[in-house]
Amino acid sequence: MQFELKNVSKVYETGQENITYGAKNINLTIREGDFMALVGPSGSGKTTLLNLIAGLLAPSTGEVFHKGEDITHLTLEERTKHRLDYMGFVFQDYQLLPVLTAYENVEFPLQLKNIDKEEIKERVLWALDQVGLASFKDRFPKQLSGGQQQRVSIARAIACRPSLILADEPTANLDSKTSQEIIDLFKKLNSEFNLTFIFSTHDQRLIDQVKTVLYIKDGQIADQKEH
Ligand SMILES: Nc1ncnc2c1ncn2[C@@H]1O[C@H](COP(=O)(O)OP(=O)(O)OP(=O)(O)O)[C@@H](O)[C@H]1O
Ligand SMILES: [Mg+2]
């Protein structure tokens, strides 16, 4: 078992006497190799749930475990290290640094880790090769298409050798053909490396191709479907 959320809730303070539940009594087990989509209307709590799994948000109540270890109460610094060691992130808007080349964007988070230079280089080239962009390594983001930029961001995520990738609406800015290419890449990484993926998405194409769909409503898991 990889990640486990036990009775996790997240309350947002939204002004005097107003509170919003971003997540409510969530119980969820994420296993090695899961390929899962969080689906639900805008404001239902998908991003909140991803952020709780990532440790970017601390739960108001409940606990999060990783490999049996309670990670709910780690310090900010410990949580950052935990994220860097185990998780990769992919976003709707790619979040590449515009002044860095594709190579340098992938290299950047690796430099925050204690890895020697030769290994960093190997990992960057390996990751860019995995996403089919080896020959584009010296291009800047603005010289790449949206789909290619998303590939760079996927390379950046996998170069850190995470066990889990969290992807918030990864295909939302892509046309349907490019979307499918990116989904195929996720599937390849999932089956070749047993890499776990959790998506938040409105993209029916992606929803149809995941193994598990979690329907989120009002911060709760309303339903679950296996494909
Ligand atoms: N930082 C915050 N402060 C206060 N309320 C918040 C905050 N972040 C989210 N919320 C509220 O929590 C609820 C869940 O939001 P969340 O962003 O998780 O939804 P979502 O399912 O990701 O929506 P979308 O599909 O639009 O991305 C919403 O009611 C939202 O307004
Ligand atoms: Mg969201």
In a domain, 5, yes or no: no
Q: How many CB atoms lie within 10 A of CB 135?
A: 9
Q: Has residue 154 been placed in a domain?
A: yes
**Binning pLDDT at 50, 70 and 90, where does residue 15 land?**
confident
**Tokens coding 115:** 């890895």
CA distance 21 to 54: 18
Query: 12, 169, 217, 220: which to mutate for ligand 1, most atoms within 8 A of CB?
Result: 12
Please report whether residue 214 resides in a domain. yes
Residue 205 lies in a domain: yes
* Structural domain includes residue 83: yes
> Taking the model in full, what pTM does it have?
0.94
Q: Which tokens belong to 57?
A: 């948000």
Q: Report yes or no on 56 lying in a domain.
A: no
Q: For the chain, how many structural domains are there in total?
A: 1
Residue nearest to atom 9 of ligand 1 (CA): 22
pLDDT at position 19, please? 85
Which residue's CA lies nearest to atom 31 of ligand 1?
43
| Cα angle 212-214-219, degrees, rounded to a multiple of 5 | 160
| 185 found inside a domain | yes
CB-based contacts of 78-83 (< 8 A; 24+ apart in sequence) = 79/55, 82/55, 83/54, 83/55, 83/56
* CATH, residue 96: 3.40.50.300
Which numbered atom of ligand 1 lies nearest the CA of 202? 25
Atom of ligand 1 nearest to the CA of 41: 25
Instruction: Give the model's confidence band at 58: pLDDT under 50 very low, under 70 low, under 90 confident, else very high.
Output: very high
Q: Note the pLDDT tens digit of each residue in 68-106.
A: 899 998 998 999 999 999 999 999 999 999 999 999 999
Q: Report the pLDDT value the prediction gives residue 171, as an integer from 0 to 100.
A: 97
Q: Does residue 52 register a pLDDT over 70? A: yes
Residue 1: per-residue pLDDT: 67
Domain that holds residue 162: 34-51+74-226
User: Whose C-alpha lies nearest to ligand 1, atom 18?
Assistant: 45
